[in-house]
Amino acid sequence: MSKAILEERKDQVHRTGHGNPVEIACNKESLAGAVSQRACVFCGSRVVLYPIADALHLVHGPIGCAVYTWDIRGALSSGPELHRLSFSTDLQELDVVFGGEEKLTAALDELIDRHKPKAAFVYSTCIVGIIGDDLEAVCKEMSLKKKIPVLPVMSEGFKGNKRAGYLAACKAMFQLVGTQDISDVPKLSVNILGDFNLAGEIWIIRKYFERMGITVVANITGDGRVEDIGRCHGASLNLVQCSGATLDLAKMLQENYGTPFIRVSYIGIEDMADSLYQISDFFKEIDPTIVEKTETLVREELSTLMPEIARYRKDLEGKKVAMYVGGSFKAFSLIKAFRHLGMKVVVCGSQTGTKEDYNELAEIADPDTILVDDANPLELAEFIKEKNVDLFVGGVKERPIAYKLGVGFCDHNHERKEALGGFEGMLNFAKEVHSSVMSPVWNFVPRRANRNKGVNKETGNV
């Protein structure tokens, strides 16, 4: 076990392929002082709800909370841009002493009149939970006064981690469900859950569904609209991509409205095709032609994509990858996608993985792959050096680790501006990986240059 791993975290690291069952601890509180790569409850709720473009998003707390999550997703909108603004009540010392309810009421009064949103989400932060502001009472009063849904998001950061924020977001959204008419919703209809329209990915996926003859009722939440969420209970099927973020909402819809859901992934060739086939199988009794439409769609897309993938694979064959993602469900698709590029994933970490997720990862990963839950920068750096990787896949918090170590980086988190979903996204992904890994700049990094020259990195001898 690496010296970089704190004694208290040894049970959150596992190496595959040694005949040992996967006994990896997860869903634990982050270890104090370890500078976890996780985010807080508030951040989790904010990133889920943020892409609802025609809603007002007001952070009730210190200005730092709003700054931290401002424009945190590369979520594009085909219409309103209200979500791009980051409003805050900017609580100060006197507000902490005397309470911030009056300030919150005044902020909502002014912002709703000025921006005319379809709904307002009000986020509770750590300090609000400590001083005891009655967020729900203020929201209820303002909802009656302004005649729009004003929804409290109970996301005090100290209540847990990002996963708890997902639940808080789903609870807030569910208050909108059932408020709109569904008489015009067709049988061949779905909701897209857990896609946040990063760099316009949801538009790519929606085009596939149009070619299959399927209507999308609601995007939850990428390029989302309040009224669409209000009628999403009329759809026949829910498609859950990021299981950690929106699975709770899918379960609420199933329990209260009987809407079934399936878990899908739009990342990589295999999972994108498999997801489309799952959906066509679900609807084939309603429309027997949908299976043939889907097969034609996949065949046409792959006929263009596969020759391009083969071209990039020539350079990437045998290169090694480390990845650290938010939801572990994304890691399954990425491992398969890298295999199409001839690359091997040797380190795989996640912020919010479950035991079931890590068991599945261990099954599909290569022997001696390091699985890590809730990593910190020191651990990630140590694993990258141990495995001598060529590419690190992560988000904004992981980028500096890669560059400091002289390793190529690929942003696969919610801040990215390049569409990586769908068959089209797989080609973008291959291009980005190739340009990152094959850049000649890495030859000038001491660690990489020594490796290329056959220098022993431990002793410095040739």
The pLDDT score that the predictor gives to residue 439 is 93
- Convert the pLDDT of each residue in 350-366 to its tens digit: 887 778 888 888 899 99
Q: Give the pLDDT confidence score for residue 410 in this predicted structure.
A: 94
For the stretch 410-413, contacts whose Cβ atoms lie closer than 8 Å and that sit 24 or more positions apart, written own/partner, are 410/436, 412/323, 412/325, 412/330, 412/334, 413/325, 413/326
**Same domain for 295 and 316?**
no
The most confident of the ranges 10-19, 123-132, 170-179 is: 170-179
At 382, which CATH number? 3.40.50.1980
Average pLDDT over residues 162-182: 94
Question: Is 16 inside a domain boundary?
Answer: no
Over residues 386-406, the mean pLDDT reads 92
Q: Using pLDDT thresholds of 50, 70 and 90, give the confidence band for residue 450.
A: low
Indicate if 331 and 438 belong to the same structural domain: yes
Cis check for the bond before 459: say yes or no (omega within 30 of 0).
Answer: no
Where in the sequence is the domain holding 157, given as residue range(s)?
A: 41-169
Q: How confident is the model at residue 457 (pLDDT cuts 50, 70, 90)?
A: very low
Q: Is residue 177 part of a domain?
A: no
Average pLDDT, the chain: 90
- Report, as an integer, the average pLDDT of 422-446: 93
Residue 162 and residue 108 share a domain? yes
- Could you tell me which of 333, 328, 363 has the C-alpha nearest to residue 348? 328
The reply to whether 394 falls in a domain is yes
Number of domains making up the chain: 3
Provide the token pair at 151.
Answer: 């929804």
Look at residue 159 in the predicted model and tell me its pLDDT: 76
For the cut 80, the answer to whether the pLDDT of residue 68 exceeds it is no
Which one, of 47, 293, 51, lies nearest residue 161 by Cα? 47
Whether pLDDT at 413 is above 60: yes
* Termini Cα distance of the chain: 28
Question: 174 lies in a domain?
Answer: no
pLDDT score at 399: 92
Residue with tokens 């065949």: 299
**244 and 282 part of one domain:** yes
Mean pLDDT of the 221-230 span: 97
375-391 pLDDT, tens digit each: 889 999 999 999 999 99
The CA distance from 108 to 87, in Å, is 10
Last residue of a domain, one of 277, 300, 323: 300
Please tell me whether residues 211 and 130 are part of one structural domain.
Answer: no
The pLDDT value recorded for residue 20 is 66
pLDDT of residue 27: 67
Mean pLDDT across 185-207: 96
Tell me what pLDDT residue 29 has.
65
- The number of beta carbons lying within 10 Å of the beta carbon of residue 196 is 25
Q: Which of 258, 283, 300 is the last residue of a domain?
A: 300
Q: Which pLDDT does position 36 carry in this prediction?
A: 64
pLDDT of residue 177: 98
What is the percent of the chain where pLDDT is above 70?
A: 90
Is 208 a member of any domain? yes
